[in-house]
């Protein structure tokens, strides 16, 4: 669409004052087509405002379509955009525009959460209250937090994100391009602790050793 003439307001103001179109053309030195194209809608509509309903009509992203998408998502929030677009017989890009631009929705990944029984929930609440009470009494300053972590000597692999670009599958999975994983890879257990005064050095747990008060570790 061509941009409006920079003389638009001047032409309309002069015509409202009763200046003839011929005189407007001479005074502003503009094309006659520009003047008559601006004056013609005023003669038909009686106003200089743009006519409502101009432009191309929406054929896919219609109010009914937006309502149908909103109702579908309301029934099943984790529906696939691709499957919804296929069911409505529209492109995935257009359905994405409806979800993002019209409904103002953002796609989030589902989270995993532990199933807590009533007894477990009650026990966690009691422990949380005790921890808060320790904080009020200053006991948290002498509390030691510790944990151990098992590290495996094995390449990290995510089938969703790790991809191989190749012309054929044989080339993609040729020797040297596959990640080999064993059932029982070599591993090492590392122990560490922190408190208000500092942290302990990393301690390596010997294989097969059970962690208790008599355990011995190798310092890092």
Q: What pLDDT, on the 0 to 100 scale, is given for residue 189?
A: 87
Q: Quote the pLDDT of residue 41.
A: 76
Model confidence over 34-63: pLDDT tens digits?
A: 888 888 877 777 666 665 656 667 777 888
- Tell me the per-residue pLDDT of 165-198, one tens digit each, with 9 for 90 and over: 777 777 777 755 667 677 778 888 888 999 888 9
pTM of the model: 0.39
Q: Considering only residues 58 and 123, tell me which one the structure prediction assigns the higher pLDDT.
A: 123
Q: Which residues are within 8 A (CB) of 61 and not within 5 positions of it... i.e. 6 or more apart? A: 94, 97, 98, 102
- How many Cα atoms sit within 13 Å of 87 on the Cβ side? 10
Retrieve residue 108's tokens.
Answer: 């989030």
| Residue range 139-153: mean pLDDT, rounded | 85
pLDDT reported for residue 55? 62
Q: Please, is 134 exposed, middle or buried when counting C-beta atoms within 10 Å of its C-beta (0-12, 13-18, 19+)?
A: middle
């Amino acid at each position: 669409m061509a941009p409006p003439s920079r003389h638009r307001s001047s032409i309309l103001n002069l015509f409202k004052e009763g200046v003839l179109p011929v005189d407007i053309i001479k005074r502003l030195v503009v094309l006659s087509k520009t003047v008559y194209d601006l004056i013609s809608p005023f003669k038909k509509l009686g106003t200089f405002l743009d006519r409502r309903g101009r432009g191309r009509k929406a054929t896919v992203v219609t109010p009914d379509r937006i309502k149908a998408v909103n109702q579908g998502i309301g029934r099943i929030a984790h529906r696939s955009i691709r499957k919804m677009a296929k069911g409505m017989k529209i492109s995935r890009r257009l359905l994405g525009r409806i979800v993002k631009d019209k409904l103002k929705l953002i796609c989030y990944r589902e989270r995993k959460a532990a199933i807590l029984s009533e007894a477990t929930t009650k026990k966690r609440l009691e422990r949380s209250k005790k921890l808060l009470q320790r904080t009020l009494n200053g006991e948290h300053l002498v509390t030691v937090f510790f944990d151990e972590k098992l590290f495996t000597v094995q390449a990290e692999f995510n089938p969703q994100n790790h991809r191989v670009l190749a012309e054929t599958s044989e080339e993609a999975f040729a020797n040297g391009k596959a990640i080999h994983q064993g059932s029982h890879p070599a591993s090492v257990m590392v122990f560490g602790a922190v408190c208000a005064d500092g942290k302990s050095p990393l301690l390596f747990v010997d294989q097969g050793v059970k962690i208790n008060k008599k355990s011995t570790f190798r310092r890092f």
